[in-house]
A and B are shown apart, each in its own frame.
Chain A
């Protein structure tokens, strides 16, 4: 096979340039939708496939590095492929294949930017994300990071004629840049005054506790802004509904993971010493983010906003996993540190699969119904069987049900939480069970959210008569959906294989691999601690579930009434049932809204008893927006007004200001 002959790093560099060429080819005929979606996007799929192969090869081999003859004179680009990067490259490849398939069928109508431009931005976005993962110096990393931010900004605002989309894009760009400044400062701290910005040099430097903490805090803030960590999450629910669905899929599935990759890279690779309270900080922030995200997801009525909040939740879980890893690592529990790191990475992989899948599903629904409000959907399982089936797999996976992939990572993470024997810090020992409880709560609520998502969109009756005309997706988009669902299943039933691959990452980062435990139980069962304590065999689960379903089906057919009946769903004894009588998204989310009312900012408008035309409206808003963002914006405005006093509108006066300043400084020197 050809790819085996080329080292994986070179292969990935090849894919990056291949994607760039495809992107540029989009400019050849920028207005031809046929050329872009039938030729260029399908060609891009090939790149993703090669990335998966290269990642599989790279994860099991020694780190390889390369100096590219690009960049500025005396400042070349360094790249490196180690197992950690390889895992994320593989994740990118898996998602890119599915999303490129889907995009080939998605960009049908002309909406905003011409298709050729979209193709350029899309492939540059993919290439930039790959380069972020490979970068081995701060300079290349920042260049790729900013390219990623800018291309995704243009993709988000591809439909830039709509004012809401423009303002969502601005918010995204603003937070991305605030984050980028923090990352830049973080690298500035990490180079430790040596002036050498290669990662290889940073690994050699042992920072003092203060500067190490500063670097970690800056990294958590900077990458957290991209990932959507708690106080900086506001762009996610705005940008995702604004972006075209494949782009939301790519951003949520892959781009957020590059931020996770950044946190892992800085914390475990570039910083030589960790402190225990970093772990607590990440753990607490992560769990708060998870709970916050899932609560808000439960009350959303726009399907893409719902998924955006669900992404916030998943990022929270992942960051909590990182925090736990730091704690175990600092307290010399390599076994548990490795376990929670594996769970974290596994969850990254899983989230990339099912969240991309679900965002693509919303795209299909949006295209065929032109509705994104859950209140106007329903019953689509009849018109869109392919989309509905894949959406079911994605929803079950994200809800964390066995035998799909979401269960494996959440179970592993819980194992790490629950089987943590005494850490040498009593306060932490008290914190861990609480944190575990919060994680379970988040997981359970996310299942609730997914029931709402799937039930309201696909089950029941049509809420609008026009929904009866909705049509299923074409072959390209179908292939994309099936590809990602297949990965959801695959990652679910082959955890032992995946964990063995991830061991290559944990070995260098936390000095332990949990694969040795797997050897004792074989490939069928996974037992992270020891087989006596707990184990999980996904294939057995799959067989059990399939067997039970088949048996029940058979028994019902054979012994009960012996025939299939089709009746209206959920009619509960009311024969004259219409669409307005079924549970709505608002109704379904109501209990959560009631229980967690203090966390939301709710505005209700109730009709009076004598209103001729009663209207009811309720909006749920984010309190943080009012507590944090608006005060900052107002402070900014006030400062700007102060500075505005200087402004006269005469250019020569402005020049005079600088002139006088310059002269003053020169005099000062004397």
Chain B
């Protein structure tokens, strides 16, 4: 096993650890920091893959990840929670230990799912596909179990990180066009959701999504 493969595996393990940490985290501020760290590890991973395989376009996507996911979005989220004054409270629907257990089950499933695919893939990063799928599912789980809007959005962004990781590990990244498109989508989505938060709070005096149950059609 070469050094780069080992490094990539290390990064994958770190990403999985961060995904679990996010699942367990109760504070929004720490959640944002974890999200930024996830982005940083992802950037490092892209750079390592790019260096070891000579895929130059991965450098651009690493740069993009760094700019958007490590700097811009955490900053936006940070400013958002200060202006909304919601640094602390995160209520979960299911208690945290149960969520962690479900998460472990998800990791087992995703490794099983990824096994046949990673055997087909010829990339040096193939063993990490299971972790990528696990990150997607764990972030999804986080979105489901959180009651407030901001952690859900962070869950959504973390899921995008997982997808990006999956793309890097199976095919050395998506075509640049697709990647640019997704990055733009995420940024725009972030901005829209930011406006949306203020509107929700204005309408319900809270960011708790249970108030929105009233909005359904009778």
Which residues of A are interface residues toward B (Cβ below 8 A)? 72-75, 644, 647-652, 655-656, 658-659, 662-663, 666-667, 669-670
Q: Which of B67-75, B81-89, B189-197, B208-216 makes up part of the contact surface?
A: B208-216
Contact B152 A651, beta carbon cutoff 8 Å: yes
B147: chain A residues within 8 A (beta carbon): 652
**Bound complex: CA A331 to CA B4 (Å):** 70
> Which residues of B, 161-218, contact A by the 8 Å Cβ criterion?
176-177, 209-210, 212-217
In the complex, 28 of the A-B residue pairs with CB atoms within 8 angstroms, ordered by the A residue number, are A72-B177, A73-B177, A75-B177, A647-B216, A649-B212, A649-B213, A649-B214, A649-B216, A650-B213, A651-B152, A651-B209, A652-B93, A652-B143, A652-B146, A652-B147, A655-B140, A656-B144, A659-B140, A659-B141, A659-B144, A662-B137, A662-B140, A663-B137, A666-B110, A666-B133, A667-B109, A670-B112, A670-B113
B145 part of interface (Cβ distance < 8 Å): yes
B216: chain A residues within 8 A (beta carbon): 647-649
Sample of 8 more A-B contacts, CB < 8 Å, known A655-B143, A670-B112: A73-B177, A648-B216, A649-B212, A651-B209, A652-B209, A656-B144, A659-B141, A670-B113
**Bound complex: CA A662 to CA B138 (Å):** 12
**Bound complex: CA A601 to CA B213 (Å):** 44
**Bound complex: CA A647 to CA B218 (Å):** 10
Closest Cβ of chain B: how far from A256's Cβ, in Å?
34
**Bound complex: CA A647 to CA B110 (Å):** 29
A655: chain B residues within 8 A (beta carbon): 140, 143-144, 152
Closest Cβ of chain B: how far from A661's Cβ, in Å?
11
Closest Cβ of chain B: how far from A139's Cβ, in Å?
13
Closest Cβ of chain A: how far from B61's Cβ, in Å?
14
Given A73-B176, A662-B140, A666-B109, check contact A652 B215 (CB 8 Å).
no
Closest Cβ of chain A: how far from B152's Cβ, in Å?
7
Closest to A75 in B: B177
Closest to B210 in A: A650
Closest to A669 in B: B113
**Of A644, A649, A651, A666, which one neighbours B113 at CB under 8 angstroms?**
A666
Contact B177 A652, beta carbon cutoff 8 Å: no
Closest to B145 in A: A652
Q: Chain B 115-147 against A: per-residue CB contact (8 Å), 1 yes, 0 no?
A: 010000000000000000100010011011111
**Bound complex: CA A75 to CA B110 (Å):** 36
Question: For A75, A647, A655, which residue has the most chain B Cβ atoms within 10 angstroms?
Answer: A655
Closest Cβ of chain A: how far from B118's Cβ, in Å?
13
**Bound complex: CA A663 to CA B108 (Å):** 12
**Bound complex: CA A649 to CA B211 (Å):** 9
Contact A647 B217, beta carbon cutoff 8 Å: yes
Closest Cβ of chain B: how far from A225's Cβ, in Å?
28
Given A73-B176, A649-B216, check contact A663 B109 (CB 8 Å).
yes
**Bound complex: CA A662 to CA B163 (Å):** 14
A662: chain B residues within 8 A (beta carbon): 137, 140
Closest to A656 in B: B144
Closest to A668 in B: B113
**Bound complex: CA A658 to CA B212 (Å):** 19
**Bound complex: CA A647 to CA B177 (Å):** 35
Closest to A73 in B: B177
**Bound complex: CA A658 to CA B109 (Å):** 17
Closest Cβ of chain A: how far from B192's Cβ, in Å?
16
**Bound complex: CA A72 to CA B178 (Å):** 11
Closest Cβ of chain B: how far from A639's Cβ, in Å?
14
Given A73-B177, A666-B109, check contact A649 B215 (CB 8 Å).
yes
B141: chain A residues within 8 A (beta carbon): 659
B146: chain A residues within 8 A (beta carbon): 652
Given A644-B217, A656-B144, A662-B137, check contact A651 B212 (CB 8 Å).
yes
Closest Cβ of chain A: how far from B139's Cβ, in Å?
11
**Bound complex: CA A55 to CA B116 (Å):** 61
A74: chain B residues within 8 A (beta carbon): 177
B109: chain A residues within 8 A (beta carbon): 663, 666-667
**Bound complex: CA A667 to CA B108 (Å):** 12
B177: chain A residues within 8 A (beta carbon): 72-75
Closest to B155 in A: A655
A648: chain B residues within 8 A (beta carbon): 213, 216
Contact B212 A652, beta carbon cutoff 8 Å: no
**Bound complex: CA A75 to CA B152 (Å):** 36
A666: chain B residues within 8 A (beta carbon): 109-110, 113, 133
Question: For A72, A666, A669, which residue has the most chain B Cβ atoms within 10 angstroms?
Answer: A666
Closest Cβ of chain B: how far from A208's Cβ, in Å?
32
Closest Cβ of chain B: how far from A351's Cβ, in Å?
41
**Bound complex: CA A644 to CA B140 (Å):** 23
Closest to A654 in B: B144
B210: chain A residues within 8 A (beta carbon): 650
**Bound complex: CA A375 to CA B141 (Å):** 66
B152: chain A residues within 8 A (beta carbon): 651, 655
A658: chain B residues within 8 A (beta carbon): 140
**Bound complex: CA A256 to CA B212 (Å):** 44
A647: chain B residues within 8 A (beta carbon): 216-217
Question: For A644, A651, A656, which residue has the most chain B Cβ atoms within 10 angstroms?
Answer: A651
8 closest cross-chain pairs (CB), A and B: A649-B216, A649-B213, A655-B144, A666-B113, A652-B144, A651-B209, A655-B143, A647-B216
**Bound complex: CA A647 to CA B213 (Å):** 10
A73: chain B residues within 8 A (beta carbon): 176-177
**Bound complex: CA A662 to CA B144 (Å):** 13
**Bound complex: CA A218 to CA B147 (Å):** 47
**Bound complex: CA A647 to CA B113 (Å):** 30
Closest to A659 in B: B140
Closest to B136 in A: A662
Closest to A657 in B: B144
B176: chain A residues within 8 A (beta carbon): 73
**Bound complex: CA A667 to CA B112 (Å):** 9
Closest Cβ of chain B: how far from A384's Cβ, in Å?
50
**Bound complex: CA A443 to CA B103 (Å):** 74
**Bound complex: CA A486 to CA B133 (Å):** 70
Closest to B181 in A: A72
**Bound complex: CA A73 to CA B178 (Å):** 11
**Bound complex: CA A403 to CA B212 (Å):** 68
**Bound complex: CA A260 to CA B206 (Å):** 54
**Bound complex: CA A644 to CA B216 (Å):** 9
A656: chain B residues within 8 A (beta carbon): 144
**Bound complex: CA A73 to CA B116 (Å):** 34
Closest to A74 in B: B177
Question: For B110, B140, B147, B176, which residue has the most chain A Cβ atoms within 10 angstroms?
Answer: B140
**Bound complex: CA A650 to CA B147 (Å):** 10
**Bound complex: CA A650 to CA B176 (Å):** 36
**Bound complex: CA A74 to CA B112 (Å):** 38
**Bound complex: CA A72 to CA B147 (Å):** 40
Closest Cβ of chain B: how far from A664's Cβ, in Å?
11
B145: chain A residues within 8 A (beta carbon): 652
